[in-house]
Chains A and B, each alone.
Chain A
Amino acid sequence: EVQLVESGGGLVQPGRSMKLSCAASGFTFSNYGMAWVRQAPTKGLEWVATISYDGSSTYYRDSVKGRFTISRDNAKSTLYLQMNSLRSEDTATYYCTRVGYDGYPLDYWGQGVMVTVSS
């Protein structure tokens, strides 16, 4: 059974940093691209970043470029999101997702971790 378990969220002040982790199991992690998607309270879904299966390619939405870094450790089957210079508009539930092969659907989602940016 595919499982994605996020951790590392919480309350953080504007301008500070936070690192999210996602522990993957139930599949060969090193064979899949992975992505982070966020959802602000009572809002819709927003793609944040994607990383290729081997970590060689990364993609970001414009609003987080230069502030967020997606990375992975295939030996540990773990995905990361380093978030720097956090802003109030980054407040959201962050989901770890697996990128499927055929058309790149987000075929499995973690339960999500809440990040609140507030003073």
Chain B
Amino acid sequence: DTVLTQSPALAVSPGERVSISCRASEGVNSYMHWYQQKPGQQPKLLIYKASNLASGVPARFSGSGSGTDFTLTIDPVEADDTATYFCQQSWNDPWTFGGGTKLELK
């Protein structure tokens, strides 16, 4: 299986820029997606195919990368962005998710 590795947690101040990384154990082309999950809620799609903003998602969110290294950037971070962020690949079977990065605001 393709293992996706994310940093477990980050803490930033509102107004700052934050980058969340996701490294794949093998190439996934550009078939990497990012989700936001707030406590007690279902995940929500933010970015699809590495760099495409999902419908209704603020332009503060952006994605980049290809192959094995991907990044989700939030700039500027707002208080409402407190959540866990997951990456997911759909290039290799089975589809796999990263362990999630918990973003906390200082």
Q: Which residues of A contact B (CB under 8 A)?
A: 35, 44-47, 50, 59, 61-62, 95, 100, 102-112
Query: Does residue B43 face the partner (Cβ distance < 8 Å to A)?
Result: yes
Q: Do residues B97 and A44 form an inter-chain contact, with CB atoms below 8 A?
A: yes
* A111 cross-chain contacts in B, Cβ below 8 A: 41-42
Task: Please list the 8 inter-chain residue pairs (A to B) with the smallest Cβ-Cβ separation, ordered nearest first.
Answer: A105-B48, A103-B49, A104-B90, A109-B42, A47-B95, A105-B33, A45-B97, A61-B94
Contact digits for B31-42, partner A, Cβ 8 Å, 1 yes 0 no: 101010000011
A110 CB → nearest B CB, Å: 7
* B93 cross-chain contacts in A, Cβ below 8 A: 59
Q: Do residues A95 and B33 form an inter-chain contact, with CB atoms below 8 A?
A: no
B56 CB → nearest A CB, Å: 11
Q: Do residues A44 and B100 form an inter-chain contact, with CB atoms below 8 A?
A: yes
Contact digits for B49-68, partner A, Cβ 8 Å, 1 yes 0 no: 10010100000000000000
Secondary structure at the B interface, as helix, strand, loop or mixed, is loop
* B35 cross-chain contacts in A, Cβ below 8 A: 45, 106
Q: Do residues B44 and A109 form an inter-chain contact, with CB atoms below 8 A?
A: yes
Q: Do residues A110 and B94 form an inter-chain contact, with CB atoms below 8 A?
A: no
* 25 A–B contacts, CB within 8 A, in A order: A35-B95, A44-B86, A44-B97, A44-B98, A45-B35, A45-B88, A45-B97, A47-B94, A47-B95, A95-B42, A95-B43, A102-B48, A103-B31, A104-B31, A104-B90, A104-B95, A105-B45, A105-B54, A105-B88, A105-B90, A106-B88, A108-B45, A109-B42, A111-B42, A112-B42
Find A103's partner among B44, B48, B98 (CB 8 Å cutoff): B48
B5 CB → nearest A CB, Å: 12
Query: Does residue B21 face the partner (Cβ distance < 8 Å to A)?
Result: no
Q: Closest residue of chain B to A62, judged by CB?
A: B94
